[in-house]
C-alpha cells in the first residue's frame, strides 16, 4: 500500500534536542561479525530500520542465534547450519545481500539462495562476486552473478590481495568476512578510504589485522571474541536534521550521541567550508567509534566544489548536499558521484528532477550536479522513487519551501529511519498538520 505525506513549511525554524536511532552501518556489522562468534556480540541501540531487520532475519535463517529485546540485539554463531532451505530475502538492503555473500562463501557445507525486492534485484552484485570467486567462492546468478538472485555453495577459501576499482565499504567488509573464514590472509586495497566500521569493530574485539593507509589485511580466525557495545546514533539520519536546521531560518538544534567517525563526516567538513554554524562536543567512544553532540544553527551558506576524495565519506548525504546547494549563494559542483546512480534509485536523476520541479536551478551531470543558488523552493508534488533517502530529503525541503509539498510513497522511510516523521514533528512545532494520505 502506497503512502504519501503532505508537509507544510516550518514556522520559526527547527528547535530542540534529539537522540537518533542506532547507526545502520554499524548495526549490520554487529550482526555479521556476531555470526562468526560462539560467544556473540550484544548491541544496545541497534538500528530500528527495515534494512537491519533484513540482516537479522537472514542470519537467523542461515542458522545463527538471534535474540532481540527492544533496541537490544545479540547475535552469535549457531550449530552447523547445513543446507539453508528457504531463500535469504535481503529486502531492499544492498549491505545485507553483499555481506551475506562474504559470510556464506567461506562456510563449508552451506547452500543458499540470496534474493531481494525488485529494486535490489537491479543493483550490481558483480563487484563483490568477482573478488570472492578469486578466493574460490562458488557463486552463480543472472548475468554471470551480476545480479540477484545469487546461489552460493560454501567451501574452503584461499587468501589473496584485491585492489578495488572504487572505494566500497560493503565490498571491503564482504572480503573481510570471507578472509576470517579463509585458509590464508586476505588483503584489500582501496583507491580511497571508505567507511571503517568493520576495522574498528574488529580492533575493539581484539582481532588481529594490519592496516596501512588504504590497505587492510585480515587473517583467518575460527571464532571471533564476543563483546557488548552501544551503537552510536546514526550520522546519516542526523544529516537530515543538520540540513533542515541550516536552511530553515531561526533553527537551533542539538543532536545527541551521534557517531562522528571521520570516514562518515565528510558532509560536515563540506558544510563548514560553506560557512555552516556547526559545533561538536566530543564524548567517550562507543565500541571503538567516536561519538559526540552536534549543535546546528541556521546559516548563510556559500557554494563550493566538492573534492573527489570527499565523496566516499558522504555518499549517502549527497542528496542532502544538493538540497542545501539550492539555498547557498553561488555555484555548487558535485562530481565523481556516479555511485549514486546505482543506489535504491538513480539518486542523481531523482534529485535533479525533484529539485527542478520545486523551482531550483539544477543541471544534472553524468556523475553529479551543477547547482546555482539561492533559489526559493515552491510547493508541489515530488516523487520519492520509493527511495528512503530521497523521501526524507524532500520532506526536509518542504520545511524550507514557500508552500506545502507532497512526497509520494513516503512509507519507504522505514527502510532506515521509521521514527523520521515523529522526529520531524518534535523539532518543528510549526508543522502541525503533517499528514499521510493513505
Which amino acids are annotated catalytic? 316
Q: Which three cell numbers stand for residue 181?
A: 573464514
Task: Bin 82: left if φ > 0, else alpha if -120 < ψ < 50, else beta.
Answer: left
Is residue 57 within 8 Å of 89, Cβ to Cβ? yes
Is residue 172 within 8 Å of 200, Cβ to Cβ? no
Helix/strand/coil (H, E, C) string of 352-365? Answer: HHHHHHCCCEEEEE
C-alpha span between 15 and 254 (Å, rounded): 8
Is residue 170 within 8 Å of 94, Cβ to Cβ? yes
Q: Which three cell numbers stand for residue 370?
A: 551543477
C-alpha span between 42 and 256 (Å, rounded): 22
Is residue 247 within 8 Å of 400, Cβ to Cβ? yes
Q: How far is CA 144 from CA 127, 186, 195, in A?
A: 12, 24, 28
Residues in the chain: 438
Bridge partners of 189, per DSSP, are: 163, 215
Q: Which three cell numbers stand for residue 148?
A: 540477484
In sequence order, the 6+-apart residues with CB closer than 8 A to the CB of 59 are 31, 32, 35, 66, 75
Closest CA relative to residue 19, chosen from 230, 327, 334:
230
Sign of CA dihedral 269, 391, 173, 201: positive
In a 3-state reduction of DSSP, which class is residue 52?
helix
In a 3-state reduction of DSSP, which class is residue 380?
strand
Cis peptide before 419 (omega within 30 of 0): no
C-alpha span between 185 and 176 (Å, rounded): 9
Q: Which three cell numbers stand for residue 273?
A: 567550508
C-alpha span between 337 and 37 (Å, rounded): 36
Closest CA relative to residue 220, chosen from 171, 185, 173:
185
Longest CA–CA separation in the chain, Å: 61
State the CB neighbour count (10 A cutoff) for residue 102. Answer: 28
Amino acid at each position: 500500500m502506497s503512502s504519501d505525506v503532505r508537509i507544510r513549511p516550518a514556522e520559526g525554524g527547527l528547535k530542540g534536542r534529539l537522540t537518533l536511532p542506532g547507526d545502520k552501518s554499524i548495526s549490520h556489522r554487529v550482526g555479521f561479525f556476531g555470526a562468526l562468534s560462539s560467544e556473540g556480540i550484544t548491541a544496545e541501540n541497534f538500528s530500528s530500520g527495515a534494512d537491519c531487520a533484513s540482516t537479522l532475519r537472514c542470519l537467523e535463517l542461515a542458522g545463527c542465534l538471534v535474540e532481540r529485546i527492544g533496541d537490544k540485539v545479540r547475535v552469535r554463531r549457531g550449530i552447523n547450519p547445513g543446507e539453508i532451505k528457504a531463500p535469504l530475502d535481503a529486502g531492499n538492503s544492498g549491505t545485507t545481500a553483499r555481506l551475506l555473500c562474504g559470510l556464506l562463501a567461506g562456510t563449508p557445507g552451506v547452500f543458499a539462495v540470496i534474493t531481494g525486492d525488485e529494486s535490489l534485484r537491479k543493483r550490481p552484485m558483480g563487484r563483490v562476486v568477482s573478488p570472492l570467486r578469486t578466493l574460490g567462492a562458488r557463486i552463480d546468478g543472472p548475468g554471470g552473478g551480476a545480479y540477484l538472485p545469487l546461489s552460493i555453495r560454501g567451501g574452503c577459501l584461499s587468501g589473496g590481495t584485491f585492489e578495488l576499482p572504487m572505494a566500497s565499504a560493503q565490498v571491503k567488509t564482504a572480503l573481510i568476512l570471507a578472509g576470517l573464514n579463509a585458509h590464508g590472509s586476505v588483503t584489500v586495497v582501496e583507491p580511497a578510504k571508505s567507511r571503517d566500521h568493520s576495522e574498528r569493530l574488529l580492533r575493539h574485539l581484539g582481532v588481529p589485522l594490519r592496516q596501512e593507509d588504504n590497505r587492510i589485511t585480515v587473517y583467518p580466525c575460527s571464532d571471533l571474541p564476543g563483546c557488548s557495545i552501544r551503537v552510536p546514533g546514526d550520522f546519516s539520519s542526523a544529516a537530515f536534521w543538520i540540513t533542515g536546521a541550516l536552511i530553515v531560518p531561526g533553527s537551533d538544534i542539538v543532536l545527541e550521541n551521534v557517531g562522528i567517525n571521520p570516514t562518515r563526516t565528510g558532509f560536515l567538513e563540506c558544510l563548514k567550508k560553506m560557512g555552516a554554524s556547526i559545533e561538536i562536543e566530543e564524548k567517550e567512544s562507543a565500541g571503538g567509534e567516536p561519538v559526540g553532540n552536534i549543535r546546528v544553527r541556521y546559516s548563510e551558506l556559500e557554494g563550493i566544489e566538492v573534492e573527489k576524495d570527499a565523496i566516499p565519506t558522504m555518499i549517502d548525504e549527497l542528496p542532502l548536499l544538493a538540497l542545501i546547494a539550492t539555498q547557498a549563494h553561488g555555484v555548487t559542483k558535485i562530481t565523481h558521484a556516479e555511485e549514486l546512480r546505482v543506489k535504491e534509485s538513480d539518486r542523481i536523476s531523482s534529485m535533479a528532477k525533484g529539485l527542478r520541479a520545486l523551482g531550483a536551478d539544477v543541471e544534472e551531470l553524468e556523475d553529479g550536479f551543477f547547482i546555482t543558488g539561492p533559489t526559493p523552493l515552491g510547493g508541489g508534488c515530488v516523487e520519492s522513487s520509493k527511495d528512503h533517502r530521497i523521501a526524507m530529503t524532500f520532506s526536509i525541503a518542504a520545511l524550507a519551501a514557500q508552500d506545502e509539498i507532497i512526497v509520494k510513497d513516503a512509507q519507504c522511510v522505514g527502510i532506515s529511519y521509521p521514527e523520521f516523521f515523529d522526529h520531524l514533528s518534535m523539532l518543528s512545532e510549526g508543522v502541525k498538520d503533517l499528514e499521510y494520505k493513505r
